[in-house]
């Protein structure tokens, strides 16, 4: 295997522009990765701020801070921002930084496309949030108020915020598809000699499946929102029964994208977790092949289970049964992943640095998401859970504990490699414990709210829901403010700190750890050879 001597630093050789132009014109995978991650972090706080307003309103019964119209805008834009502008860009940032380092490639295969893919994001985020600002000047009714799901005919009825959101989703979709093409081409063509597909790091495998899912489903979403746009402005009736259309058609199209989207957000994390488990258990990854096949199985199943998101819309009994049983089937490949993660720890020699804490926290809390998902698959019980806070709690266990905490695992794990500095371990641990505890404080009460019968997306509630809502709001504020520790810790690490070694972690293995920390601007110019 080649070593780090194969690379050399020549940051300034080609007369790179500096300052803002450097970032605007860069085609370097590390620069673009950094921009993706920075953008994701900023939008994470934007989306978080929105939901803190919502939680503050829900602290007690009655309307105190916001009116229902604005409330409805906040919940929908919160979700769109968190999914499309925080979690997805964070995962793409990881891919940009890590995939070339991990597979021994000098850069991404399509660097200019890569630049374009990133620079589409800020305009899209602006489109999403601009209607809030326009409303202040008396233009339009504000942002999209339909929830992130765009359900017709409510979205046909909505104001200009819906149009803005449609265009934002189109742009975000184009960006995602470009990123996906780039990742697929890179993985297929630029692996180091000797790195067969079955030696590909699991992180790259997870992303590869994600990329295929994105290419398969984003066009369906784009089609659905375009049909919505023509229903709104060009007199078509795709979703209007009076013109021969069907509102439920929209839900089918939306969730054909929406369900795989869950795995799009999670597969990169599932790819990352085994690396972390292996590193901190000082033991090779258990069941590599099983995990790869698990990824494929989940990817394939994810596109055939979509209708479990709207069992209450009413469908024929055979359809109900099919979607119920196919959904339950997903628990099998997921169980394979859990089994392998725990088997990787088993009889290792564990230490519990921050990335390991986040990975373990991820496994436990994501386990709750998986198990509640299993009961949600049951059509009869789903009639009670659906549209209630039970579902809200469930998908936050999947997307916050699964998605966001997974991303934090990756940041703490790779940050020393990227910056060349060790992060502050004490702050990292504080951040973990505050996050894990306040997350549960926020969302455990929401399970009970849902069981007791509180519907989601309501700005005010009956009195028997008061206590749990108060607790949940307190939790949400602690959770929100704890993330400032994270931002501060990252900032400190970027600026300086204890020098990180090339290998960073005692038990780390893989090509990226053979490069210096931080790796030079251009790495793996001579590809390493795997024996």
Partner 1 sequence: MRNRNANLHGNSGSASARDDWKIDDLEEEATLNAPPITIPGVGRWLAGLLLLVPAFAARADYSWNFPTPVTPIARDTLKIHNEFMIIITVLFVVVFAIMVYSMIKHRKSGGAKPAEFTGPKSRLQWFWVLVPFAILLFIDFVLMGIPAFHAVLDMEDTKTKADMVLKVTGMQWKWQYEYPDSGIKFISTMSTPREQINNEAAKGENYLLEVDNEVVLPVGKKVRVLLTATDVIHTWWVPQFGVKRDAIPGFLRETWVKIEQPGVYRGQCAELCGKDHGFMPVVVRAVPEPEYVAWVDKKKVELAAAAAGADKTWTKDELVAKGKEVYEKQCAVCHQANGQGLPPAFPALTGSKMVNGPLFSADGKLIPDSHVDRVLNGKAGTAMQAFKNTLGDVDLAAVITYERNALGNAKGDMIQPGQVKSLR
Structural contact between residues 143 and 77, judged by C-beta atoms closer than 8 angstroms:
yes
Q: Name which of 19 and 314 has its Cβ closer to partner 1.
A: 314
| CA dist., res. 17 & res. 373, Å (int) | 50
Stretch that binds partner 1, among 82-90, 213-221, 349-357, 411-419 (CB under 8 A): 349-357
Structural contact between residues 65 and 138, judged by C-beta atoms closer than 8 angstroms:
no
In whole angstroms, the minimum distance from the beta carbon of 313 to partner 1 comes to: 5
Question: 3-class SS at 47?
Answer: helix
Structural contact between residues 403 and 269, judged by C-beta atoms closer than 8 angstroms:
yes
- How is residue 436 written in tokens? 């894990």
Q: What angle do CA 287, 208, 421 make, to 5 degrees?
A: 80
Residues 182-221 that bind partner 1 (CB under 8 A): none
The CB-side HSE value for 196 (13 A sphere, CA atoms) comes to 3
Stretch that binds partner 1, among 141-149, 194-202, 256-264, 491-499 (CB under 8 A): 141-149
Residues 354-373 that bind partner 1 (CB under 8 A): 360, 363-364, 367-368, 371-372
Over the window 463 to 482, marking each residue x when it contacts partner 1 by CB under 8 A and - when it does not, the resulting string is xx-xxx-xx-xx--------
Stretch that binds partner 1, among 168-176, 222-230, 324-332, 512-520 (CB under 8 A): 324-332
The CB-side HSE value for 347 (13 A sphere, CA atoms) comes to 4
- Is residue 319 at the binding interface for partner 1, with CB under 8 A as the rule? no
End-to-end CA distance of the chain, in Å?
7
Kindly tell me which residue out of 10, 21, 49, 64 binds partner 1, with binding defined by CB under 8 A: 64
Q: How many residues bind partner 1 (CB under 8 A)?
A: 104
Q: Name which of 13 and 347 has its Cβ closer to partner 1.
A: 347
Stretch that binds partner 1, among 90-98, 170-178, 217-225, 459-467 (CB under 8 A): 459-467
Q: Is 508 left (phi over 0), alpha (psi -120 to 50) or beta?
A: beta
- How is residue 126 written in tokens? 């602006």
Q: Name which of 26 and 73 has its Cβ closer to partner 1.
A: 73
Q: Name which of 146 and 493 has its Cβ closer to partner 1.
A: 146
Residues 224-263 that bind partner 1 (CB under 8 A): 232, 240-242, 246-248
Residues 263-302 that bind partner 1 (CB under 8 A): 281-290
Residues 425-444 that bind partner 1 (CB under 8 A): 441
In whole angstroms, the minimum distance from the beta carbon of 103 to partner 1 comes to: 20
- Is residue 460 at the binding interface for partner 1, with CB under 8 A as the rule? yes
Kindly tell me which residue out of 93, 173, 348, 403 binds partner 1, with binding defined by CB under 8 A: 348
Stretch that binds partner 1, among 33-41, 111-119, 192-200, 318-326 (CB under 8 A): 318-326
Of 353, 502, 352, 355, the residue nearest 418 (C-alpha): 502
**Cβ-based burial of 196 (10 A; exposed 0-12, middle 13-18, buried ≥19):** exposed
Which of 34-72 are b and which e, b meaning 16 or more Cβ less than 10 Å from the residue's Cβ? bbbbebbbbbbebbbebbbbbbebbbeeeeeebeeebbb
Q: Name which of 191 and 386 has its Cβ closer to partner 1.
A: 386
Q: Name which of 109 and 330 has its Cβ closer to partner 1.
A: 330
Kindly tell me which residue out of 23, 45, 53, 60 binds partner 1, with binding defined by CB under 8 A: 60
């Amino acid at each position: 295997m080649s070593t780090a001597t194969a690379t050399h630093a020549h940051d300034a050789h080609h007369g790179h522009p500096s300052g803002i132009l450097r970032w605007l014109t860069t085609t370097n995978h590390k620069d673009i990765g950094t921009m993706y991650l920075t953008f994701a972090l900023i939008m994470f706080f934007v989306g978080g701020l929105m939901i803190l307003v919502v939680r503050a309103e829900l602290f007690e019964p009655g309307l105190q801070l916001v009116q229902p119209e604005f409330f409805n805008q906040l919940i929908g834009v919160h979700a769109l921002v968190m999914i499309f502008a925080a979690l997805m860009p964070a995962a793409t940032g990881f891919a940009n930084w890590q995939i070339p380092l991990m597979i021994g490639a000098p850069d991404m295969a399509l660097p200019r496309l890569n630049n374009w893919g990133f620079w589409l994001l800020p305009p899209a985020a602006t489109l999403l949030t601009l209607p809030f600002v326009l409303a202040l000047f008396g233009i339009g009714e504000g942002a999209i108020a339909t929830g992130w799901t765009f359900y017709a005919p409510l979205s046909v009825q909505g104001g200009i915020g819906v149009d803005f959101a449609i265009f934002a989703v189109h742009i975000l979709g184009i960006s995602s598809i470009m990123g996906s093409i780039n990742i697929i081409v890179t993985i297929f063509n630029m692996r180091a000699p000797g790195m067969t597909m079955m030696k590909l790091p699991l992180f790259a495998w997870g992303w590869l499946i994600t990329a295929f899912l994105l290419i398969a489903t984003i066009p369906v979403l784009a089609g659905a929102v375009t049909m919505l746009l023509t229903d709104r402005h060009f007199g078509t009736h795709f979703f209007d029964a009076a013109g021969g259309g069907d509102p439920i058609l929209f839900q089918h199209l939306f969730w054909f994208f929406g369900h795989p989207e869950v795995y799009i957000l999670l597969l990169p994390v599932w790819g990352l977790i085994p690396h972390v488990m292996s590193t901190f258990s000082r033991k090779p990854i258990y069941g590599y092949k099983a995990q790869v096949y698990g990824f494929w199985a989940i990817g394939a199943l994810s596109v055939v289970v979509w209708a479990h998101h709207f069992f209450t819309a009413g469908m024929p009994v055979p359809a109900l049964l099919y979607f119920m049983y196919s959904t339950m089937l997903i628990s099998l490949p997921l169980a394979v992943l859990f089994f392998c993660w725990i088997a990787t720890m088993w009889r290792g020699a564990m230490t519990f640095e921050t990335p390991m804490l986040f990975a373990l926290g991820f496994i436990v809390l994501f386990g709750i998401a998986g198990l509640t998902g299993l009961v949600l698959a049951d059509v009869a019980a789903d009639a009670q859970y659906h549209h209630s806070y039970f579902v809200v709690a469930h998908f936050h266990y999947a997307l916050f504990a699964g998605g966001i905490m997974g991303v934090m695992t990756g940041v703490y794990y790779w940050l020393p490699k990227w910056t060349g500095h060790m992060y502050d371990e004490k702050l990292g641990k504080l951040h973990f414990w505050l996050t894990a505890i306040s997350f549960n404080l926020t969302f455990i009460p929401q399970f009970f709210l849902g069981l007791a019968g509180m519907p989601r997306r309501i700005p005010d509630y009956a009195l028997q829901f008061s206590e749990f809502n108060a607790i949940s709001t307190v939790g949400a504020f602690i959770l929100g403010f704890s993330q400032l520790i994270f931002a501060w810790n990252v900032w400190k690490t970027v600026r300086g700190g204890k020098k990180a070694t090339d290998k960073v972690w005692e038990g780390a293995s893989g090509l990226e750890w053979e490069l210096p920390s931080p790796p030079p601007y251009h790495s793996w110019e001579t590809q390493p050879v795997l024996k």
